[in-house]
Structure 1
Amino acid sequence: MTLVLPAEQTQNRAITAANGRFSVCSRQVAFGALLAATAVLYLWNLSASGWANAFYSAAVQAGAQNWTAMLFGSSDPANAITVDKTPAALWVMDLSVRLFGLNSWSILVPQALMGVAAVAVLYAAVRRVSGPGAALLAGAVLAATPVAALMFRFNNPDALLVLLLVVAGYCVTRACERDAGRWWLMAAGVAVGFGFLAKMLQALLVLPGFAVAYLVAGGRPVGRRLLALVGAAAAMVVAGGWYLLLAEVWPPGDRPYIGGSQRDSIVELALGYNGFGRLTGNETGGLGNLNHDVGAGRLFGFGMGLDIAWLLPAALICLGAGLVLTRRAPRTDVTRAALLNWGGWLVVTAVVFSFANGIVHSYYTVALAPAIAAVIGIGAHLLWRNRFHPWCAVALAGAVLVTTVLAAVLLSRHVEWMPWLRAAVAVGGVGVAVLLLVVRRLPDGVARTVAAVAVIVSLASPAAYSVVTAANPHTGAIPSVGPAGGFSGGPPGLLNSPEPDAELTATLARDAHDYRWAAAVVGSNNAAGYQLASGAAVLALGGFNGTDPSPTLEQFQRYVADGDVHYFIGGRSALGFGDRAAQSGSRAAADIADWVQEHFESRLVGGVAVYDLTHGAAS
């Protein structure tokens, strides 16, 4: 049977009719309830995570004390070395700490509010093309994705990145409308450019989808569409490139060393360690390729599946079906443009994450959550409107069935946690799928009830997993979702920062104002723990991995001779990454540690070996 697809005008009337079924009051109440529930999920018991990622919290502490440290994202207020990212996410937290003081809430609340804002902007984007019902579904999917509940409660750069990319997606949606102003596409470029300042090249993964959507559906002639894309690209380069230019031309002696680079270059950091190195695995100064699950199944595997896989097949079904349903629509059809917009984001990002050979952590998949949510909202709305065609009913049933079966598989990875949910979702999913197959024959009221149950049974598992994720504290460099709460088994110094006892904390704080750095220790993550506890500047030798050539042995010896550093902290501060990291980066930090141990005597303070660098060398 050939489908007679609606023209754009008919689609707009259908959306208007859908809006009419929701009174203004009920729409506002439903939207408000969505945001309130999201806020509760992301803010509830937030301070239980303490400093969360102490590596970034220490940089926020430094930025709140020193404007240069804030500008460059320095790990310490004395400006020795920066974190290994561009600092836009730190700027938000820096301002919060300057306003409200240094504490867990002032660091983490901005992340939670970014999550609520991302849900609100996604709702607005989907509502413009598919109405409030689809928008509510999309917002609920985003809010209830476990990795979103993890990262919008954590102080990594991902929260700001996702918010800015969702804003950019909304702007592209507006740019594709028939009467769109010329500035919407420019605004999208600016948002992506600032996203680059949050997490560098990862922000650019959305660009193919954005460009295809506008080229296909933009209301202007093709030449002007191409010109508009060039203008948006220029806006993106300016919005993100000004900071790279600033860091490159700033005299190196007047700013901190660029952490994560081997030549004190932020361009090297952007293109190498945080850029193409993540794709190839050739990350100078990194840990090498630690991934053994590269391939199409990675997003469903034990590393990433519980973070993001729950609704991924349903999103792909909705994307494919939606493109089929809109294949005969006018070129400027806004629904198809939205599917290309968010679907391109989804496909490109999923492929890159699946096949990247460098360091790719499971929580990176939060960047997929908005695209999955938008595609499900738009695609499910299209399928429901066309449910009287048998294949659309089959697609709806298939989406629910595969979602619930996958949920049962994912839940089985924690067999001791809520075992009844696994069975209930599986049985409920099969029952709802059968009803959806015959939904065209059901009375309208019954059909709507089936649709509501389908949404509930599909979201029950990821929502429950999000709640248990939010209920657990998360600390260290690699947080994870689920009832276990946090990642275990990683190398020392990578995951959790040290928590010195009162004796060591008092030792570091005593007379700290007389020195540029109260202490030095290998690795920024180690330095962060001592700095946060004592409130004194701590010099991180070698940056995050301990493999950056900053400072060199000669520079450190000069610091010691000038009385800039009081203590060197050994013991737990060992590199922890072994020769694997040092093979591709500098051994300066290891050489410094060897030199200190050879020339100075240590004493145990709070169970940790501490070397006083202001006293004579050992005999």
Structure 2
Amino acid sequence: MTSATDPRPHTSAPPHTSAPPGASATPDAPVPTPAPPAPPPATAPPESAPRWSLPALAAIMILAAALYTWNLSSAGLNSYYSAAVLSGTQSWKAWFFGSLDAGNFLTVDKPPFVLMVMGLSCRILGYGTWQMMAPLIASALATIWILHASVKRVWGHGAAAVAALVLALTPITVAINRDNNPDTLLVFLMVAGAALALRATRNGRLLPLLGSAVCFGLAFNTKMLQGYIALPAVFAVYLYAANLGLVKRMVNLLLAGVALAVSSFWWAGAVSLVPASDRPYIGGSTDGTAWDLIMGYNGLGRILGSDGSMGGGGGGGGGGGGGFGGTSGIGRMFNEVLGGQISWLLPFAGIALAGGLVLCGRAPRTDVTRAALVLWGGWTALHYVTFSLAEGTMHPYYTTALAPGIAALCGGGGAMLLRAFRTDKRWVWVLPLAFAVTGVWAVVLLRRTSDWNTWLWPTIAVVMALAIAGLLAFRSGGRIRLLAASVAAAVLASVAGPAAYAASVPAGTGGGMSGTNPTAGPSTGGGFGGPGGGGGGRMGGG
């Protein structure tokens, strides 16, 4: 054991000790015992929660709940999924297959796990907007809580609070979390899977790794291959950094692969066992099978743009592909369609990731900080590249899957940059640069719609400039409160733009197309097709 005052290991005293020379060694003499450990210091140890931590998390959760639920009854849901949920309340067969109609003629173009969840809620509570959305809103709030807990274990309470705030205020996340599309549940399952994998990496136990695999399997049954995008980063981190020998790591990953396969393909396998004449046609497929849906419309079709489906989802975009998301390319996340939805803090996240990895240096293989950086950095990079280069249907709300990675990097990587800023002169310029780039990009995004909240971009510019000046002025000299105030001002300036976009959704002033293609903030022009299909495509779930 170790004590709060002595980091060295302690061992129990031996049962017998020899008396010092000259001492009387009577058999009745008490055996000397070591002095009791010193009492803990008056201040709480680093792992104890500061007094502000729980109130801060509660405030963020309340803010998120308000953004996700305020004026919810007036929001238009995706009628495609609403019809399937209604069918599931009328027929258990329709509930299992995800049929659009209670007569089980045609299913939606996705696996039915999210429909099963919403359908059960409506069977218990009755069919309606609130009844349908209750489990999705609960999962959205749980995503924030899980991310907060995961970041806290690695980087501490301050980093966790920043990560939770960034996730709660991501504009496209607010928009989609008020909608009955599958993406809210998808992100919850993937974040839960990533958090469990990090726990397994840290403690070497098998059960969290199996739980992670099951979460990603259920994510697959929510939106098929999109649920696997982050999986290479998650499992690679475990394979390299888990606190076990190589053979044990490989065996555990093989067991996790079995759990992943079972939790991923139970529905498709069950559908295959039912004769085609006794089940509905699988929407989005070319031959009525779930396997074709997996590999075609919801697989390579999303990347290559060759949907070729019957009754399928959003349809391919014209021109450069993507329809709703603008032209494909490496800069797609920053374009006029997607920039205001997801890219506000992407520059900061990138700088924080690079800086954090450099700061980790030659850390041990099992270093948890580096493992977390690589996992969330890999999560962000894999989603960024996939969504940027996809030639198939690309709705803006797909990018909500980027938000947890960005949030974790801003919180955790940002905390590392702050620590280096305070302790190492070579790093004095990195954190101010990250904030400066964030402020400049916020001004660029806000000036794309010059008639929307025209006061906001000058305010952000001034506050950010003053905050950066405060960082440099109060870095040394023991002026910790002034430095903390400067950091807080920089964080608030960083999230002011996305917060304004996010608030537009419950206020009813967002520029999206209701439940078909929800977005936040003002309309910024091109990239949108007709309802239900980019460029006038087929009706579907997207």
Matched, 1:120 2:145: yes
Match in the other structure for 2:34: none
Matched, 1:401 2:436: yes
The aligned runs of 1:354-373 (5 Å cut-off) are 354-373=388-407
Distance 2:119 2:66 in 1: 24
Normalised by the length of structure 2, the TM-score is 0.85
Match in the other structure for 1:251: 275
Is residue 176–residue 519 contact of structure 2 (8 Å, CA) maintained in 1?
Answer: no
Match in the other structure for 1:35: 61
SS of structure 2 residue aligned to 1:303: coil
Match in the other structure for 1:160: 185
Matched, 1:75 2:103: no
The aligned runs of 1:466-505 (5 Å cut-off) are 466-472=502-508, 475-484=514-523, 490-491=529-530, 494=533
- Which stretch shifts more, 284-293 or 258-267? 284-293
Is residue 212–residue 340 contact of structure 1 (8 Å, CA) maintained in 2?
Answer: no
Question: Structure 1 residues 489 and 406 mapped into 2: Cα distance closer, same or farther (>3 Å)?
Answer: closer
The aligned runs of 1:421-570 (5 Å cut-off) are 421-442=456-477, 443-472=479-508, 475-484=514-523, 490-491=529-530, 494=533
Match in the other structure for 1:196: 220
- Which stretch shifts more, 391-400 or 83-92? 391-400
Is residue 199–residue 208 contact of structure 2 (8 Å, CA) maintained in 1?
Answer: yes
| Unaligned segments of structure 1, at least 5 residues | 1-8, 11-15, 498-521, 526-543, 546-619
Displacement of 1:523: 6.6
Is residue 280–residue 358 contact of structure 1 (8 Å, CA) maintained in 2?
Answer: yes
Question: Structure 1 residues 103 and 487 mapped into 2: Cα distance closer, same or farther (>3 Å)?
Answer: farther
Matched, 1:294 2:328: yes
Q: Which amino acid aligns with 1:318?
A: A
Displacement of 1:20: 4.1
Give the alignment partner of residue 136 of structure 1, picking from 157, 161, 166.
161
- Which stretch shifts more, 485-494 or 342-351? 485-494
Displacement of 1:71: 0.3
Matched, 1:236 2:264: no
Displacement of 1:294: 1.5
Displacement of 1:163: 0.2
Distance 1:396 1:222 in 2: 37
Question: Structure 1 residues 486 and 315 mapped into 2: Cα distance closer, same or farther (>3 Å)?
Answer: same
| Unaligned segments of structure 2, at least 5 residues | 1-6, 9-43
Matched, 1:309 2:365: no
How many residues align? The count is: 486
Distance 2:269 2:121 in 1: 26
Distance 2:273 2:380 in 1: 37
SS of structure 2 residue aligned to 1:310: coil
Distance 2:377 2:507 in 1: 32
Q: 1:427-450: CA deviations, max 9, x gaps? A: 222232333345532521211111
Give the alignment partner of residue 22 of structure 1, picking from 46, 50, 64.
50
Match in the other structure for 1:556: none
Is residue 130–residue 378 contact of structure 1 (8 Å, CA) maintained in 2?
Answer: yes
Match in the other structure for 1:267: 291
The aligned runs of 1:88-103 (5 Å cut-off) are 88-103=113-128
Is residue 393–residue 436 contact of structure 1 (8 Å, CA) maintained in 2?
Answer: no
Displacement of 1:471: 1.9
Match in the other structure for 1:558: none
Q: Which amino acid aligns with 2:97?
A: F
Question: Structure 1 residues 203 and 486 mapped into 2: Cα distance closer, same or farther (>3 Å)?
Answer: farther
Is residue 172–residue 341 contact of structure 2 (8 Å, CA) maintained in 1?
Answer: yes
Q: Which amino acid aligns with 1:105?
A: W
Q: Which amino acid aligns with 1:262?
A: T
Identity among equivalent positions (%) equals 40
Matched, 1:328 2:362: yes
Displacement of 1:18: 4.1
Distance 1:107 1:334 in 2: 39
Match in the other structure for 1:345: 379
Distance 2:365 2:173 in 1: 34
Aligned-residue CA RMSD (Å): 2.4
Is residue 200–residue 274 contact of structure 1 (8 Å, CA) maintained in 2?
Answer: yes
Q: 1:159-181: CA deviations, max 9, x gaps? A: 0000000101110110111x342
Q: 1:314-341: CA deviations, max 9, x gaps? A: 0011111111111222211111111111
Normalised by the length of structure 1, the TM-score is 0.75
Question: Structure 1 residues 21 and 86 mapped into 2: Cα distance closer, same or farther (>3 Å)?
Answer: closer
SS of structure 1 residue aligned to 2:386: helix
SS of structure 2 residue aligned to 1:262: coil
Is residue 47–residue 105 contact of structure 1 (8 Å, CA) maintained in 2?
Answer: yes
Match in the other structure for 1:502: none
Is residue 31–residue 136 contact of structure 1 (8 Å, CA) maintained in 2?
Answer: yes
Displacement of 1:17: 4.6
